[in-house]
Amino acid sequence: MENMVNVYLFGKRYQVPSGLTIMTAMEYAGYELVRGCGCRNGFCGACATIYRIKDKQELHACLACQTEVQEGMYIATLPFFPLVKKIYDIETVRPTEQIMMQLYPEIYSCIGCNACTKACTQELNVMQYIAYAQRGEYDKCADESFDCVMCGVCSSRCPAGISHPQVAMLARRLNGKYIAPECGHLSDRVKEIDEGMYDELISQLMNKPVDELKELYNNREIEK
């Protein structure tokens, strides 16, 4: 019991082993995670969670699969954030300031409070990449937001109602489509796939047992 900590899941107290992530602690306590668990490796952003520590008022945001439990932690998971996702055709839009004004005009209502950056579960400079988007510097916005996992916690704290992850996604798409230089070897590989060069290999891989696939993956040759 000396390595156990007290946590409160949705208001109910549980004792769980220290060192567990919030996600594994919830499962240890008997919760079956059907939604809000995603990749379990910090990439998908599905497990956005809020918590505070007993006797402290400050509210924290995190990813449940990456954050260890603490003594006196009050935890509540968040099912989703109502991000505004505008529909557009990447083949017809262009990397101009006007397209951001048209699709996400709320970014120009940013008051510079920096709440988005403080809330980010990936410790990204969110307010900075929004500033790049405002100026139409989509290559810089794409680079600054590259590690965004679309969890939406930043937007939950924004008084201007900005959908930061969707703004960043548009910037990355514009950058990839129109601004970044073409990657020759990637284009060649896509063409080979379209021509069916790897169909037989893919079929063989799909029929291999999981353990063998793991072995192949762990010992693969990584291109430089």
pTM: predicted TM-score of the whole model, two decimal places: 0.74
**Do 37 and 70 belong to one domain?**
yes
**Do 165 and 202 belong to one domain?**
no
Residue 63, domain member (yes or no): yes
Residue 82, domain member (yes or no): no
Nearest to 168 by CA among 134, 136, 130: 130
Q: Rounded to the nearest 5 degrees, what angle is found at the Cα of 75, between the Cα atoms of 78 and 71?
A: 155
> Over its length of 224 residues, how does the chain's per-residue pLDDT go in tens digits?
569 999 999 889 999 999 999 999 999 999 888 777 888 888 888 888 889 999 898 888 889 999 999 999 999 887 676 688 899 999 999 999 899 999 999 999 999 999 999 989 899 999 999 999 999 999 999 999 999 999 888 998 899 999 999 999 999 999 999 999 988 888 899 999 999 999 999 999 999 999 999 999 888 887 76
Residue 87, domain member (yes or no): no
**Do 188 and 175 belong to one domain?**
no
16 CB-side CA count, 13 A: 26
Total count of residues recorded for the chain: 224
CA distances from 184 to 138, 181, 192 (A): 22, 9, 13
How does DSSP classify residue 45? -
Question: Among all chains, which residue has been given the structure tokens 């109602």?
Answer: 161
CB of 68 closer than 8 Å to CB of 2: no
**Do 171 and 196 belong to one domain?**
no
